[in-house]
Amino acid sequence: MNALTKTAECRTRSRKVHTGRRGPQGCVVWVIDGNGERKPLNPRRALRNHSPTGFEWGYGGSGPAQLALAILAEHLGDDHAALNLYQAFKWACIAQIRGSNWSLSSEDIDNCLARLSEQQEAGQPFPDPFPF
C-alpha cells in the first residue's frame, strides 16, 4: 500500500508514457497508451488553474505545477490524491526535467511517488522547493 496515494502499488493499470516537447509554439504534452494511441494530456484546469498559458518543466513555477497536476490526475485516476501530491511531485520530478524533449513512463511516475512515500514514512520533509 502506498501511504501517499492510499492505493495498492501493484494495482492493474495500463502502462502509459507521457511525453513532452517544447517548440516555437509552446509546450505540448502527449499521453501514449499501451496500444501506441496518442492523445494530448488534459491540463485539468478545473481542478486547479495554475497556468492558463500551458505546461512547462525544468523549474518550479506555475506551468510545471499544472503539468504535475495533470500527469498525476491522469496517472492515478484520483483527483483528490493528485491534488494532495502534485506540488511534491512537481519538485521531485517535473522541476528536474532538462531539455526540450522528455518522456516519463508509468513506471517512472510510480518510482517517484514511491520515493516521496518513503520520505514521508521516514519523517523526512518533501524536497525543499527553495534549496538556495
Q: Which helix (H) or strand (E) holds 118?
A: helix 106-121
Give the per-residue pLDDT at 59.
Answer: 96
- Grid cell digits, residue 37: 494511441
Euclidean distance between CA atoms 34 and 19, whole angstroms: 14
- Grid cell digits, residue 11: 494495482
Q: Are 69 and 50 in contact (CB under 8 A)?
A: yes
Using the structure block, give the residue that is written with the C-alpha cell 519538485. 91
pLDDT of the chain along its 132 residues, tens only?
454 554 444 434 569 999 999 999 899 999 999 999 999 999 999 999 999 899 999 999 999 999 999 999 999 999 999 999 999 999 999 999 999 999 999 999 999 999 999 988 887 665 554 443
Give the per-residue pLDDT at 68.
Answer: 98
Euclidean distance between CA atoms 45 and 57, whole angstroms: 17
Euclidean distance between CA atoms 69 and 47, whole angstroms: 8
Give the per-residue pLDDT at 121.
Answer: 84
Q: Are 112 and 90 in contact (CB under 8 A)?
A: no
Q: What pTM was computed for the model?
A: 0.84
Beta strands at 101-105 and 17-23: parallel, antiparallel or unpaired = antiparallel
